[in-house]
Amino acid sequence: MDTPTIYDVSRLSGVSTATVSRAFTAPDRVREETRRKVLAAAEALGYQPSAIARAMARQQTDKIAFLICKKDATILDEFYASICEGVMRRANSTSYQLLISTAADWQRTGQSKQIEGVILAGDAEPSLISSFQRQGVAVVLVNHRASGFELPSVVADEQNGARQVIDHLTAYGHRRIALLAGRFSSYITSVRYNAFLTAMQEHGISVDDSGIVMCGRDVESATQASVELLRRPERPTAVFAFNDVLAAGVIKAATRLGLRVPDDVAVVGFDDSSSCTLLTPELSSVHVDCRRMGEICLEQLTALLSGDTEVPRLTVVPVSLRTRASSIRL
């Protein structure tokens, strides 16, 4: 037999379809007894309201999207996967359906997949943002800030993370601290960079350019750059890397050169990815609660969608340094 409709329930329970509808969507507007009758009939029939018909009648889709805005081959790296997980978790306890994709794919094929809200992760193009806004789609940004737009951003407290690292390293007597930087999303790249400079300044350590090395975003590139860095006559006693992958490169370079970590050179990463505890020695890193960030995004998006005007323009999620063997001399 076909799947039962609201008419079947109406007939079986002896009330109108409107009442059946109310029994499901506004239970308190139906007399207790009637509602029970309806629910019993629905149960007996195995009836489930059709999401599509509902969307049709209400003129809304109940759909939101999480779009990853980056160009790599790997779109779901650990960082974005964790944010995504947070979003999914929270989405599951709402009535919204979550679509996940990349910005590129969306623009290519996302037509006609009407959504009411979108979370843009990473380097969202202004044109993309405004195209959503033009369509009346609510937008929340994560790991990014867009000047000139009135919309909520969720970011990690990178400044504080860098400060904690430099505090930690200087406490162990390090003064010659190098930064190994790579090109990631424009936001992360500039913010982490500046956070490092600021933290160094706060400790009155001058950062001559030689203390900052740029490399690609893969280990191999980081390793090569680190080999050069660690070969310099004025070798840094500590290296702060932009993320854990680059930090792993520093450790590899040190090993290759016969230097010991942390005795000859201390290493600290960023993100506290799962690889930190796989490495030997274990890698100190700034823990970022990506899952939480994703959850916050979804909360703010639903707030926006329910007409809440009190949604904060910027949410900064705290971070905390996890110190491990790579930077602790016993």
Partner DNA sequence: GTGAAAGCGCTAACAA
Partner DNA sequence: TTGTTAGCGCTTTCAC
- Which CB, 9 or 246, lies closer to DNA? 9
List 36, 40, 46, 57, residue binding DNA (CB under 7 A): 57
Residue 309 C-beta: closest distance to a second copy, Å: 24
Residue 52 C-beta: closest distance to DNA, Å: 7
- Judged by beta carbon distances under 5 to 8 A according to partner kind, the member of a second copy, DNA, none in contact with residue 6 is DNA
Q: Please give the residues from 29 up to 48 whose contact with DNA meets the rule CB under 7 A.
A: 29-31, 33-35, 47-48
Crossing angle of the two packed helices 78-91 and 290-305, in degrees rounded to 10: 40
Which one, of 167, 194, 164, lies nearest residue 179 by Cα?
194
Residue 261 half-sphere exposure, CB side, CA atoms within 13 Å? 28
Cα separation values, 257 from 218, 220, 232, 260, Å: 19, 15, 12, 9
Contacts of 299 (CB under 8 A, 6+ apart): 90
Asked if residues 159 and 198 have their Cβ atoms less than 8 Å apart, the reply is yes
- Which CB, 59 or 93, lies closer to DNA? 59
**Residue 79, H or E segment:** helix 78-91
5 binds DNA (CB under 7 A): yes
Crossing angle of the two packed helices 158-171 and 186-202, in degrees rounded to 10: 40
**x/- track of binding to a second copy for residues 42-61 (CB under 8 A):** ------xxxxxx-xx----x
Q: Which residues bind a second copy (CB under 8 A)?
A: 48-53, 55-56, 61, 63, 74-78, 81-82, 84-85, 88-89, 92-93, 97-102, 105-106, 108-109, 111-114, 219-220, 244-245, 248, 251-252, 255, 274-275, 277-280
Q: Which residues bind DNA (CB under 7 A)?
A: 2-3, 5-7, 14-22, 24-25, 29-31, 33-35, 47-50, 53-54, 56-59
